[in-house]
């Protein structure tokens, strides 16, 4: 049994780290294809080295570009790779990036069954390219691996009922598996001079923020008004957009950090401010209040009792949210109903592909 997994961005590397392990334990041979969507070593190579992800069989080296250029380049090169690997029985894609969209389209054109991990997520904002990618991948997938009951409800409302599996969140698997390793391999004092709870942690990378000068300026204005230092590991795309934006002295820009380092920084932060979907969840699971720098979130479960607050890019809203505290305990979500999410993915694929 041989499947092909296509990944291209750091959240996908983290998910693949736990799913690839489960696939191997189930006796499923996996070929890993790296699109090269993230090509900076701090956003790519370090994840393979740190998380024990199998070495990719090939790097498509597509680099950056517009959505159409990047998606088209991945499709062209991935299609050729799969045509040269006739023994592949299925394709696995993760999340909502251009790598996800391209992988899904190529699998459909080559009549290969498709598994979409993190199916059913919706922001209900089609101005976001990620939303379009999710919808297309779900429509093409034979296996829709949903992390939450909300995600299941979303695809059911869209008329998708076959092959829908509520399996829990593979990011929860990763957080649990790697959190203790992070504490020993990436201690806080090796990452920052600030003490635990002595700083805010922020990330800004989504195009809706980085490509809108007014939104980006509003976010950095809000960060500059916070009552303490703000550590901000800077995505390369964001760095290029900061020209002309005045940075407050309390905003401390950092180079991108590894996944384990990010877990440590998150666990010890006073608050997390982010437009990342994955970091919203990791903060929640690590018991750290989160402020989402977007107008919507796919992870509505995190909003309960104020553990996550949506503030967009308004500076005053950012400051006000940082002063609030949760009103009750966090509600567990992302739990797998029968074993870990990764184990269930491997089990379903093994059963269904064996049946075929």
Q: Catalytic amino acids? A: 205
Residue 250 in tokens: 């309390």
Structure tokens at 128: 């976001």
Q: For residue 118, which of 345, 348, 347 has the smallest C-alpha distance? A: 345
Q: Please check whether residue 335 is in contact with residue 12, taking contact to mean a CB–CB distance below 8 angstroms.
A: no
User: Alpha-carbon distance 294 to 39, whole Å?
Assistant: 26
- The per-residue b/e assignment along 168-189, b for 16 or more CB within 10 angstroms, e otherwise, is bbbbbbbbeebbeebeeebebe
Q: How far is CA 343 from the centre of its chain?
A: 19
DSSP codes joined into one string, 30-63 = EEEEE--SS-SGGGTHHHHHHHTPPPPSEE----
Cα(167)–Cα(253) distance, rounded to whole angstroms?
A: 37
CB atoms under 10 Å from CB of 351, counted, come to: 11
Task: Give the contacts of 93 (CB within 8 A, at least 6 positions apart).
Answer: 5, 6, 99, 100, 103, 104, 107, 114, 115, 116, 117, 137
β 114-117/29-34 pair status: unpaired
In the numeric block, the tokens 């509600």 are attached to 331
């Amino acid at each position: 049994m041989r499947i092909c997994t296509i990944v291209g961005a750091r959240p996908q590397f983290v998910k693949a780290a736990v799913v690839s392990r489960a696939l191997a334990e189930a006796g499923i041979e996996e070929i890993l294809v790296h699109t090269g969507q993230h090509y900076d070593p701090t956003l790519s190579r370090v994840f393979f080295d740190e998380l024990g992800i199998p070495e990719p069989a090939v790097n498509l080296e597509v680099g950056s570009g517009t959505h159409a250029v990047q998606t088209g380049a991945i499709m062209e090169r991935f299609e050729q790779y799969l045509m040269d690997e006739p023994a592949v029985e299925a394709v696995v894609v993760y999340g909502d990036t251009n790598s996800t969209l391209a992988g899904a389209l190529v699998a459909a054109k080559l009549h290969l069954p498709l598994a979409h991990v993190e199916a059913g997520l919706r922001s209900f904002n089609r101005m976001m390219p990620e939303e379009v990618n999710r919808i297309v991948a779900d429509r093409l997938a034979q296996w829709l691996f949903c992390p939450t009951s909300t995600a299941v409800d979303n695809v059911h409302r869209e008329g998708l009922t076959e092959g829908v599996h509520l399996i829990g969140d593979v990011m929860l698997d990763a957080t649990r598996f790697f959190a203790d390793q992070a504490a020993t391999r990436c201690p806080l004092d090796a990452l920052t001079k600030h003490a635990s709870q002595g700083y805010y942690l922020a990330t800004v990378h989504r195009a809706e923020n980085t490509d809108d000068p007014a939104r980006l300026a509003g976010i950095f204005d809000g960060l500059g008004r916070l009552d303490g230092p703000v550590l901000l590991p800077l995505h390369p795309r964001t760095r290029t957009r900061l020209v002309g934006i005045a940075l407050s002295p309390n905003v401390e820009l950092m180079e991108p950090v590894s996944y384990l380092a990010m877990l440590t920084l998150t666990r010890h932060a006073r608050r997390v401010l982010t437009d990342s979907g994955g970091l919203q969840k990791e903060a929640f699971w690590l018991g750290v209040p989160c402020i989402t720098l977007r107008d919507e979130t796919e992870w509505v479960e995190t909003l309960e009792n104020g553990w996550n607050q949506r503030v967009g890019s308004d500076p005053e809203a950012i400051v006000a949210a940082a002063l609030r505290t949760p009103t009750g305990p966090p509600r567990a979500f992302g739990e797998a109903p029968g074993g870990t999410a990764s184990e269930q993915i491997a089990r379903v694929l093994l059963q269904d592909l064996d049946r075929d």
